[in-house]
Amino acid sequence: MRLLPLVVTVVFTVAVAYYIYIPLPDAIQEQWKLMLLDAGFRTAMHLASLKHWLGIDHYVTSIRGSTSVFEGTMKGFMSSESGSAVIPGVKVSDIEFVGIPVRLYEPPAGGEGHLRRGLMYFHGGGWALGSGKKGSYDANNRIVSDELNTVVVSVEYRLYPEVHFPVPYLDCLAAAKHFLSPEVLAKYAIDPERVAVAGDSAGGNLAAAVAQEISLDESMSVKFSVQALIYPVLQALDFNTPSYIQNQHIPVLHRTLMVRFWLQYLGADLSLLPQLMVNNHSASHHSTITPELRSRVDWTTLLAQKYKKNHKPVIAEKGSNEDVKVPGLLDVRASPLLAGPEVLAKCPRAYVITCEYDVLRDDGLMYARRLQDAGVTVTNDHIEDGFHGSFSFTTWPMEFHVGKRMFRGYLNWLQNNL
């Protein structure tokens, strides 16, 4: 009988190890930490799906709840209150810009002259999760405000399932226009020649789309000086780019999860996921997807050979399946990579972070290339050992060396270019 507890313990330990362990490229550092993080996220998703199936809660709000519990457990380390103690000189205010909640960070008195820099930030989370008021988003924005003498505005745009496209984009655009108004800039002593827009992942999508629209708006007397896009998601036509295939199982953004985020954001039927995985939604017979439009996301010409490797394009042929309807699929407000060269030419100079082990790597690389081709000055900071989400992993217990290095690179670029 004494043997039974030992057997149970061994079996349980092996099962847990099997659940946690996933093979990762050698270049990724702190692998077990990433595996544990991914296992925790997968567990939260599995439990959320179960609760959704049982009719207890929507799976997205359930995941948010799990995150809140985790943050409450780690209170004093990750919550927004902890950030207040890190940089006590930064004034933080939760206010509204034209009815949209924002968190405003004002640097301590003094700094480099009377006028200060300005930066608007959109957090990531697949247009469904996340908040700029929590964790590393809050901590990093405080650091930017303090070290760069910058007034930072973090926008709490509305999320799925409460809303879908174009509502998050319209929230961000409205907040951006308000921020760039001469009255608001004067109120916070911001130099109108030194205002940036930035975001990561889905927030990078929103930042790129808002930057495009502001650049085209002749009614705006002040426009963004620079844009900083951190592993942005920029297109939904091709889910078989080399990076989508190479990194489809790399934490924390698996290929299937990114496709699901897109379906949710665009308000499409989630049952279409298998069709999008094989690019049936962008089949060659779709008359609305012109050759010119396809060229704007053609990785065979926009990527360097070292990223293309031996991958082949996946284009569904006519008759492979019946038409798959996805609303907003070709809307540049949702997919900034689809914008024409005449639009890109008006965009502000850009800083684009891409990670080698990220399904979105090629989105960022293609956008950087197209901006450059349109005459925009672009700095592409490619992180050879980076993975999706690492920019946000800078606070304990989700602290990675690569994330801190990425954040410092972002900070240095803003210091020299804004």
Question: Residue 143 corresponds to which tokens in the numbers above?
Answer: 């650091």
Nearest-angstrom CA–CA distance, 43 and 27: 26
Show the DSSP H helices in 249-375 as ranges.
255-265, 273-277, 291-295, 299-302, 305-308, 341-344, 361-373
Return the structure tokens found at 249: 């199982």
Instruction: Give the length of the chain.
Output: 418
Catalytic residue among 200, 225, 388, 390: 388
349-357 and 190-200 beta bridge pairing: unpaired
For residue 244, give the nearest of 103, 363, 393, 373 by alpha carbon: 363
Q: Which alpha helices (H) appear in 278-391, and where do they start and end? A: 291-295, 299-302, 305-308, 341-344, 361-373
Going by C-beta distance under 8 Å and a sequence separation of 6 or more, which residues neighbour residue 63? 44, 45, 48, 129
Catalytic site includes residue 215: no
Hey, how many other C-beta atoms are within 10 angstroms of the C-beta on 309?
10
- The 3-state DSSP class for residue 111 equals coil
Active-site residue, from 136, 145, 154, 201: 201
Phi, psi of 167 (to 5 degrees): -60, -50
Q: Per the structure block, which two tokens stand in for 304?
A: 């360097």
Neighbours of 38 (CB within 10 A): 20
Whole-angstrom distance, CA of residue 248 vs CA of residue 242: 10
**φ, ψ of residue 95 in degrees (nearest 5):** -130, -170
Sign of the dihedral defined by the CA atoms of residues 183, 189, 195, 197, in that order: negative
Tokens read off for 188: 């916070």
358 is catalytic: yes
User: Among residues 38, 138, 358, 385, which one is catalytic?
Assistant: 358
Distance from the Cα of residue 46 to its chain's centroid: 22
Catalytic residues: 201, 358, 388
